[in-house]
A and B are shown apart, each in its own frame.
Chain A
Amino acid sequence: MPIKIPDHSPWRSQVLVTKALLHRELVTRFGKYKLGAIWAFADPLLSVIVIGVILGPLIGRSSGDIPYPFFLLCGFMLLNMLSGSMSAGIGAAGANKGLMVFKKVQAFDPFVARFIFIFLINASALIVFCIVAYWIGIDVSVQRIPEAAICIILTWLIGSGLGLFLGIATLKFNELEKIVGYIQRPLLFLSCVLYPLDAIPPQYAHYLLYNPLVHTIEYMRMMLFPSYVANGVNLYYPTAWVVAAFAVGITAYRNNRHFLTQQ
């Protein structure tokens, strides 16, 4: 006997589709590895170990009260959050084009699912790292966790807005994907991931402050370690980036929504 598809409210339907896409993302992303989802934690940890071993002796002392590996980890996770959601946006529409045949899946849904996916794996990794750090005796401050969380969310939102824009723009101009790769690469050096902002001479530091990632990374370190100082960073500037990134992203989506479902 054939089964009638139950009627759902639009919101319930949206939740179902997003959950199903998230599940799919999890299976395709981690299903091929033997260690599975452990890679979500192992990936940043291994990068930090490799960079820490090489750069630790060189600039490790400049990170103030924060132990250098943890200092690095904070920056790294936020960088991951930004570049992760940007890359997740690129290819979101292409990889899921086939799914558009199902009426319930709209062109916007793969983007939403992928961004949530990036948030979940990076945020949970960061939380686990903070708990471990606290546990092994690193003096992480608990009082200003909400502000630290806002830094994470702002970074994620900038990445998602840009990811939405890039995901659509790269479909129209394939070369853009290459260019984005070149822009993303120096971000590791230009975002205060490896060194504190205070280590940069003031006449150059204000150039770095154009990078919203510098604000969120340094602000988060200040919140987790009250004795840490970073001059000139605030949360308004990255918030402005969030608004701008989403304006650009949603405009691109709105103007190309027919193109996205086209076979």
Chain B
Amino acid sequence: MIRLRNVSKYYPMKGGGVHYVLKDVSFDIPSNQNIAILGPNGAGKSTLLRMIGGAEAPNSGVIETKASISWPLGVQVGFQGSLTGRQNLLFVCRINGLSKDDTRKILGTVYDFSELGEYFDMPVKTYSSGMRARLSFGLSINFDFDYYLIDELTSVGDSTFRKKAKQEFEKIRESSALIFVSHSLRTLRQTCDSAIFLNQGKLVFYTDVKEGIRAYKDFMQEANPSLRNTKRKRKQLRKNNFT
């Protein structure tokens, strides 16, 4: 369980105002299910993940948990471009104080999983975004976390990687919870049980992910009516063609 108690998070804007990501939110994130985080661009989905993962602190309020939580897994994970993949992995093992045996084991399995080959000993800045994702995902599945935070990770990489990632997710799902940010609603519907809808500093929880996605879609259509019109027109066209 992750408890948010009166959590506020805002960013200062140019010109003096502030932009709220969360405004005095109290909420318990359940631990036994996979949760999708939905919201329009800039609502603060990634920031929420970063706060849960301990990368950023809230401006006021507290986030309490005893669970072990992964860092947000995404393309922008904390790798230093000038260091090689191996050196970056070693850094993560070092800050977590792993034993030599564990470190060696991790290097071995990540090397196999990521299929980077010679790139494993090349600077990370020479990697493509898919290669980066493979490295970061390969690393994180070697650790045993109660919660995995995933930020658009599965939308990069080629089909083999996505397939592999999906298999690993299936394994992880059994023992841990996923908190998932993705723009692919299909992925969210398949992997997640419930949903959090984040907008303008407010957080709404839906016990059924389908409900959440519906609410999100409704919201997006309301915010952008032209979207609905084109969809209707398309439907109309399709109908006409069929008849």
Residues of A within 8 A of B (CB): 2-6, 8, 12-13, 16-17, 19-20, 23-24, 27-28, 98-105, 257-259, 261-263
Q: Check if B59 sits within 8 Å of A17, measured CB to CB.
A: no
Tell me which of B139-147, B187-195, B213-221, B235-243 binds A: B139-147
A5 to B53, CA, bound (A): 15
Interchain residue pairs A-B with the least CB separation, the first 10: A103-B54, A20-B94, A2-B144, A98-B78, A101-B71, A99-B78, A101-B78, A4-B144, A261-B56, A20-B95
B144 touches A103 (CB 8 A): no
Q: How many A-B contacts if CB must be within 8 Å?
A: 93
Contact B92 A258 (CB under 8 A): no
CB pair A104 B59 closer than 8 Å? no
Q: Does B227 lie at the interface of the complex (its beta carbon under 8 Å from any beta carbon of A)?
A: no
Please determine whether A262 and B56 come into contact, CB atoms closer than 8 angstroms.
Answer: yes
Please list the residues of chain B having a beta carbon within 8 angstroms of any beta carbon in chain A: 11-12, 46-47, 50, 53-57, 59, 68-69, 71-72, 76-80, 82-83, 87, 91-92, 94-98, 102, 105-106, 141-144
Can you give 27 A-B contacts (C-beta < 8 A)? A2-B142, A2-B144, A3-B142, A5-B68, A5-B143, A8-B97, A19-B94, A23-B91, A24-B80, A24-B91, A28-B83, A98-B77, A98-B78, A98-B80, A101-B55, A101-B71, A101-B72, A101-B77, A102-B55, A102-B71, A105-B78, A105-B95, A258-B56, A258-B59, A261-B55, A261-B56, A263-B46
Given A100-B78, A101-B50, A103-B69, decide whether A262 and B11 contact each other with a Cβ distance below 8 A.
yes
- With A3-B144, A16-B97 as given contacts, are A261 and B57 in contact (CB-CB < 8 Å)? yes
Q: What is the CA–CA distance of A4 and B79 in the complex, to the nearest angstrom?
A: 21
Q: Across the interface, which residues of A come within 8 angstroms of B91, CB to CB?
A: 20, 23-24
A6 contacts B78, C-beta separation under 8 Å: no
- Cβ–Cβ contact A3 & B94, under 8 A: no
**How many whole Å from B48's CB to the nearest CB in chain A?**
12
Q: How far is the CA of A16 from the CA of B104 in the complex (A)?
A: 18
Q: Which residue of B lies closest to A23 (CB)?
A: B94
- 5 further interface pairs, Cβ-Cβ under 8 Å (given A8-B97, A100-B55): A5-B96, A19-B94, A24-B83, A27-B83, A101-B72
Tell me the complex Cα distance, A262–B10, Å.
10
- A4 contacts across to B, CB distance below 8 A: 68, 143-144
- Tell me the complex Cα distance, A105–B71, Å: 11
A25 to B42, CA, bound (A): 34
Query: Within the complex, which residue of B11, B47, B78, B80 is in contact with A102, where a contact is CB–CB below 8 Å?
Result: B78
Output the nearest chain A residue to B54 by Cβ-Cβ distance: A103
Bound CA–CA A33/B8 (angstroms): 47
Decide: A6 near B71, CB < 8 A? Known: A28-B82, A258-B57, A263-B46. no
Q: Which of A19, A102, A263 has the most CB of B within 10 A?
A: A102
Return the chain B residue nearest A98 by Cβ.
Answer: B78
Residues from chain B with Cβ under 8 Å of A99 in the complex: 78, 80
A15 — nearest CB in chain B belongs to which residue?
A: B97
Q: Judging by beta carbons under 8 Å apart, are A16 and B96 in contact?
A: yes
